[in-house]
Amino acid sequence: MLFTNKSLLMWALALGLSCSWLFPNYASSQTSYYQGKTITIIRGGTPGGSGDMQARALIPYLKKYIPGDPTIIIENMPGAAGMKAVNHTYTTATPDGLTIGAVGAGLVAGPILGLTGVRYDLDKLIYLGSTESGDPYIFLTRQEAGLDSLEKLRATSGLRIGAQTVGHPIYVSGRIFAYLLGIKEVKLVVGYGGPEVDIALERGEVDARANSADTVVRRNREALEKGAFHIHATITIPKGKFHPRFANVPELETFAKNDKERQLVNLFRTFLYPRWPYILPPGTPSEIVKILRGAMAKAFNDPGFPHEFKKLMGGDPSPLTGEEVEIAIRGLPRDPEIVGLYKKMAEHGPLPPR
């Protein structure tokens, strides 16, 4: 049987129409898929925390570049240092592009360290991007504690360090600072939300805390001006990146006695490199991943995003694309000896001997 060019064209059109009827979500335009729909961002933390503020800075620009102009809302899901939100995204969320996880660096550390409660595989998650690629951490004590020198810090015993939960990056960093600075018999006081640790510090419930430098400046600008804190050390993230406000604070790595301790600091840095990753559950169709990764990249490049970010965070963003986050995850160092020492920093109990 012979087909003319015209009949072939008609046959192809008919086939295309039938396929679009069978698969309307993906065969139709990108615009029609998200039109009239709501995307929920599952934010692994309490309202008002750094991750929450960064998500709010991002949302208007992410929405701008997703075809169909969907509504985007935040659902805060604190618990287990963000692990609850990751587990929910991985095991419960429908892989339809309407649920996005927004979590902290604990996402990366949990599976590498084999922490209890991890129900996800890093290599199966889908990464959309990260609003930050590292942020220096600092260790501070309240001025009323009178610990204005390293000698006084080392001479004290029972220093109370505030944090969210056991295993949280704030908890882990507090213990790493105490370990390398040589502080004796520290007591980690947990159970707070991020901003609540600041309140506990102000009330004298705790004596010290670790936190990202940007967050300290954003939340405590007036207190810093009044000299309310003594800043003892910093972990530069990435290595060599000091916060301008704390450029003369000693780098914690200089207190390391050996290569193992230096690698401990470096592993912490690596875990925090994709600082605030955005994720999708496994099985999300590649067409949807492409739409959302593209929208995320365009949002990061929008001139309005860094302006909004700086207004809320006090510093500039340093975003990573989904592809860059994926490469960082795949390249994580997993040396058993260093991971073993890091696990001791993430656990409850006394610090190990040096």
The DSSP letter of residue 251 is B
Check whether the bond before 281 is cis (ω within 30° of 0): no
Q: Are the beta carbons of 53 and 311 closer than 8 angstroms? A: no
Q: How many CB atoms lie within 10 A of CB 224?
A: 16
Task: Classify domain 32-133+274-336 at the CATH topology level.
Answer: D-Maltodextrin-Binding Protein; domain 2 (3.40.190)
Percentage of the residues of the chain whose pLDDT score is greater than 70? 91
Q: Are the beta carbons of 254 and 103 closer than 8 angstroms? A: no
Per-residue buried b or exposed e for 231-259, using 16+ beta carbons within 10 Å of the residue's own CB? bbbbbbbeeeebbebbeebebbbebbeee
16 pLDDT tier (thresholds 50, 70, 90): very low
Rounded to two decimals, the pTM is 0.70
Q: Are the beta carbons of 348 and 174 closer than 8 angstroms? A: no
Does residue 22 register a pLDDT over 60?
no
Does residue 27 register a pLDDT over 70?
no
Q: How is residue 163 written in tokens?
A: 């944090």
Over the stretch 102-133, which tens digit does the pLDDT of each residue have? 998 778 888 888 888 999 999 999 999 999 98
CA–CA distance, 209 with 140 (Å, rounded to integer)? 6
Q: Are the beta carbons of 194 and 50 closer than 8 angstroms? A: yes
Over the stretch 256-289, which tens digit does the pLDDT of each residue have? 999 999 999 999 998 888 889 999 999 999 999 9
Burial (Cβ within 10 Å: 0-12, 13-18, ≥19) of residue 320: buried
Q: How many CB atoms lie within 10 A of CB 44?
A: 29
User: What average pLDDT is seen over the chain?
Assistant: 90
Over the stretch 35-44, which tens digit does the pLDDT of each residue have? 999 999 999 9
pLDDT (mean) for 234-245: 93
314 pLDDT tier (thresholds 50, 70, 90): confident
Q: How is residue 122 written in tokens?
A: 């890093």
What is the CATH number that goes with domain 137-271?
3.40.190.10
Over the stretch 318-352, which tens digit does the pLDDT of each residue have? 999 999 999 988 888 788 999 999 999 999 999 99
Over the stretch 196-239, which tens digit does the pLDDT of each residue have? 999 999 999 999 999 999 899 989 999 999 999 999 999 999 88
Q: How is residue 182 written in tokens?
A: 């040589």
Q: How is residue 4 written in tokens?
A: 């003319």
Does residue 6 register a pLDDT over 60?
no
Percentage of the residues of the chain whose pLDDT score is greater than 90? 73
Comma-separated ranges of CATH 3.40.190.10 domains in the chain: 137-271
Comma-separated ranges of CATH 3.40.190.150 domains in the chain: 32-133+274-336
277 beta partners: 130
